[in-house]
């Protein structure tokens, strides 16, 4: 049995692999733990692994991850210096023929996985945490968060850390109009530039 309070990221990954705190583990291929430097100053939290992440066992490696990588680069941040993770560690999906379609985690699943995210933050000790989308913001704050109303603000997360909220990069993939997509992508880059500015000043 894994240590219930892991003291290292490697220990945390082992413990997450044995997680039975909600039913999602029964259907996913594997757990997808967070990845990045042990004491990264910036942590980005997404919603949950997608199909590509579930198969690979790594976060943000699919289309949304590639979109995020582009935004990170344009914002002048170093992807290798960021710890990336998700509010929920197992892929929740609906089977449609041979395809597995993303299904949003519910409040119970988010709350049950919060245990792991709290430990993750305590181990990494980031200076700034970015919530990518409403599910991540809900996990981090414990309540629904109006993303668009709070973008561009620095919010208190705990005694040592600050929080910035923005859209999830997967939202950009669902926009069909090219001008709208460019505008929303530019907004994500602006939010990440804001994060870079905060880190420089802290």
Half-sphere exposure of 30 (CA within 13 A, CB side): 13
The mean of the pLDDT values for the chain is: 94
β-strand 42-46 against 128-132: which pairing, if any?
Answer: parallel
3 falls within a domain: no
Closest among 175, 196, 199 to 71, alpha carbons compared: 196
β-strand 42-46 against 82-86: which pairing, if any?
Answer: parallel
What's the pLDDT band for 86 if we cut at 50, 70, 90? very high
2 falls within a domain: no
What's the pLDDT band for 4 if we cut at 50, 70, 90? low
How much is the CA Rg of the chain, to the nearest whole Å? 16
Closest among 109, 58, 72 to 185, alpha carbons compared: 72
Q: Tell me what pLDDT residue 189 has.
A: 98
**109-132: per-residue pLDDT in tens?**
999 999 999 999 999 999 999 999
Cα–Cα dist 176/157, whole Å = 34
Environment class of residue 74 by beta-carbon count within 10 Å: exposed (0-12), middle (13-18) or buried (19+)? Answer: middle
Half-sphere exposure of 142 (CA within 13 A, CB side): 5
**φ, ψ at 155 (rounded to 5°):** -105, 145
Closest among 9, 64, 61 to 33, alpha carbons compared: 9
Q: Tell me what pLDDT residue 159 has.
A: 82
Closest among 58, 62, 60, 38 to 47, alpha carbons compared: 60
**172-201: per-residue pLDDT in tens?**
999 999 999 999 999 999 999 999 999 998
Residues of the chain with pLDDT > 70: what percent? 98
Range(s) of the domain holding residue 181: 9-201
> What's 186's domain CATH number?
3.40.470.10
Q: Tell me what pLDDT residue 1 has.
A: 45
Q: Is 151 helix (H, G, I), strand (E, B) or coil?
A: coil
Give me the number of domains the chain comprises.
1
What's the pLDDT band for 5 if we cut at 50, 70, 90? confident
Closest among 152, 146, 144, 166 to 44, alpha carbons compared: 166
More confident call, 188 vs 160: 188
Q: Is the CB of residue 129 less than 8 Å from the CB of residue 139?
A: no
Cα–Cα dist 171/142, whole Å = 22
Q: Tell me what pLDDT residue 101 has.
A: 87
In the predicted structure, residue 2 carries a pLDDT above the cut 50: no
- Calculate mean pLDDT across residues 77-87: 97
101 falls within a domain: yes
């Amino acid at each position: 049995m894994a240590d219930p309070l892991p003291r290292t990221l490697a220990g945390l990954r082992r413990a997450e692999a044995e997680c039975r705190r909600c039913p999602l583990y029964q259907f996913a291929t594997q757990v997808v733990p967070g990845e990045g430097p042990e004491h990264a100053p910036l942590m980005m939290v997404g919603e949950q692994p997608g199909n590509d992440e579930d198969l690979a066992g790594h976060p943000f490696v699919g289309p949304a991850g590639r979109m995020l990588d582009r935004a990170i680069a344009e914002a002048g941040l170093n992807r290798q210096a960021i710890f990336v993770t998700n509010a929920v560690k197992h892929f929740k999906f609906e089977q449609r023929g041979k395809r597995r379609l993303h299904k949003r985690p519910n409040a119970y699943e988010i709350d049950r996985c919060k245990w792991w995210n709290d430990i993750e933050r305590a181990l990494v000790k980031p200076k700034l945490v970015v919530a990518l989308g409403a599910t991540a913001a809900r996990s981090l704050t414990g309540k629904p968060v109006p993303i668009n109303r709070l973008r561009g603000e620095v919010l208190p997360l705990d005694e040592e850390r600050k929080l910035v909220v923005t859209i999830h990069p997967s939202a950009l993939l669902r926009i069909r109009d090219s001008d709208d997509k460019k505008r929303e992508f530019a907004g994500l880059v602006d939010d990440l530039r804001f994060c870079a500015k905060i880190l420089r000043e802290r």
